[in-house]
Chain A
Amino acid sequence: MSNQSRHEAETVERSLDSTLESVDYAEEITMGVAQRAGFDEDDLTKIGMAVRESMVNAVVHGNRYNANKKVRFSVSKNEERLTVRISDEGEGFDYEHLPDPLAPENLFRSSGRGIFLIRSFMDEVRIRRLDPGGTEIVLVKHMVSK
């Protein structure tokens, strides 16, 4: 891979259906951009997982598989970072007061680890409510100078 392609800015934007197929699609698109950005295997795995978890949250918890609601997805890269934005049209949730999945009382829960994993894998994670509705999550992975 040439240095030129690695540093070329690139953006992909899609409006996706609220389906599990969209989760796979978003992961696939992101992997392509991240590979062209030059991330190593370990970072690619982490980025893919964070995108997957974010898309599942949007499709399942945000839009609740509603065929009339879309997930807006974008992934972009430049010399400094890879940025993924995912937004749903759901009712929102209290993202500032999520149960800690590592707390002993939560360890055996069957769910609730998604956002924790996203924050573990990405360098920056920002969540915000959208106006008039929905939630957006922004994931950032910094490029490492080689």
Chain B
Amino acid sequence: MSVKLNTRQVGDVSVVDVAGRITLGEGSSALRDTLRDMVTKNHKKILLNLGEVSYIDSSGIGELVSGFTSVTNSGGQLKLLGLSKRVKDLLQITKLYTVFDVHEEEASAIRSFA
């Protein structure tokens, strides 16, 4: 599988550890399904840990945006953690870096949820 996802709880924050490639196909579908499932189950505080994401394409970026929109529209918050330079550069080029609340360290990311 191109991507591995692991979900854990830290208090009332749901942390999704993502590893591998978020690309069109298995990778982007897995992320989409996980976020949809969490919205359906009324998770309001979601932290996507992208520290082990080696690669993301425009489809992967699209899933991040869709996930953000879905979670926000359901009254929740979705934040990002641990962006590599590559992912950060992509979000900056596409003017999405300032849309997301991006953190470098998990503890402070957890504390930032309202």
Contacts and interface: CB of A to CB of B under 8 A. Distances in A.
Contacts of A49: 57
A134 interface: no
Interface in A2-37: 20, 23
Interface residues of B, number: 20
B10 to A, nearest CB: 28
A128 to B, nearest CB: 22
Interface stretch (A70-78, A79-87, A90-98, A102-110): A102-110
A102 B94 contact: yes
B86 interface: yes
Interface residues of A, number: 20
B101 to A, nearest CB: 15
A102 B65 CA distance: 13
Interface of B: 23-25, 57-59, 61-63, 65-66, 68-69, 86, 90, 93-96, 99
Interface of A: 20, 23, 45, 49, 52-53, 56, 60, 101-102, 107-111, 113-114, 116-117, 120
